[in-house]
Structure 1
């Protein structure tokens, strides 16, 4: 599991990223928002970022949701 810090307009958020190489999947969680997202390697891309952004927007404002979804996409793309 990797833990990343996201510093944005709403302060610091800890983002937990767990990669399951056997199942080719990733689980991302942000405990401070009580939010998580599960996806497979095949789902990574623009559509996934949009899905995460919509889900995050239910927990925080639109600008932070956009910021976090972009960072998560970048971090998980490096894995």
Structure 2
């Protein structure tokens, strides 16, 4: 599991990322938002950013959701 910190005008968010290489899946969680997202390697394409942003916008404002989605996409892409 990887733990990342996201800093922005909204404050600090701790992001937990778990990669299951055997099953080719990734689980991302942000406890302070009571939010999580599960996806496979195959789903990690361009549409993922939109899905993450849309889901996060239900828990926080749109600008923070877009920023977090972008960072999550970057962090999971590096794995």
Instruction: Specify the TM-score bucket, using the shorter chain as the normaliser.
Output: over 0.9
* Partner secondary structure for residue 54 of structure 1: helix
Residue 43 (structure 2) aligns with: 43
Residue 63 (structure 1) aligns with: 63
Checking the alignment, whether the CA contact within 8 Å between 1:45 and 1:73 is kept in structure 2 is: no
TM-score (norm 1): 0.98
- Written as runs of structure 1 = structure 2, the 5 A alignment for 1:1-79 is 1-79=1-79
User: What per-residue deviation string (whole Å, max 9, x for no partner) do you get for residues 9-65 of structure 1?
Assistant: 100000000000000000000000000000000001221110010000000000000
Give the total of aligned pairs.
79
- Rounded to whole Å, the distance in 2 between the matches of 1:45 and 1:36 is 18
- Which runs of no fewer than 5 residues in structure 2 stay unpaired? none
* Partner secondary structure for residue 22 of structure 1: coil
TM-score (norm 2): 0.98
- Rounded to whole Å, the distance in 1 between the matches of 2:70 and 2:64 is 10
- Rounded to whole Å, the distance in 1 between the matches of 2:14 and 2:43 is 23
